[in-house]
Amino acid sequence: MLISDSIAKYVVVDDVTVRAFPGNTVLQVLDKVRFGEVSVHNQRAVMLLVGTNDIANITTDVTFEDFLCRFKALVDLIKARNSHVILLICSILPRFVILRKLAL
């Protein structure tokens, strides 16, 4: 299973369930797993490619530490729902907004 934001919405891979949520933050994806919209129970492996929307929108209300706590909560929940899952965490892809904020 691939759980992603919009970057993977058109990805098609044989025998892989792709769940893409354009515009979603890690917290929104966490809620989708928590409340059963995304089930990881019978998955052998789960790949996470989420977080770009969080990083692009970090404000004084949502700190980088908040983001890390939410990401860890998502990982912990997936492991709790399926203790045998192979969990693959992809790096967050750079976005123009991030580079502009850093003046790169």
What is the separation of C-alpha 98 from the centre of its chain, rounded to a whole number of angstroms?
17
Q: What is the mean pLDDT of residues 76-94?
A: 90
Category of 21 on φ-ψ map: left (φ > 0), alpha (ψ -120 to 50) or beta: beta
pLDDT in tens, 37-52: 999 999 999 999 998 8
Q: Looking at residue 59, what is its pLDDT?
A: 58
In this structure, are residues 60 and 15 in contact, taking their beta carbons and an 8 Å threshold? Answer: no
For the chain, domains (ranges, CATH) are 2-101 (3.40.50.1110)
pLDDT band at 104 (very low <50, low <70, confident <90, very high): very low
Which residues neighbour 100 within 8 Å (Cβ) at sequence distance 6 or greater? none
DSSP sequence for 57-100: T--SSS-HHHHHHHHHHHHHHHHHH-TT-EEEEPPPPP-HHHHH
pLDDT band at 28 (very low <50, low <70, confident <90, very high): very high
pLDDT band at 103 (very low <50, low <70, confident <90, very high): very low
pTM of the model: 0.82
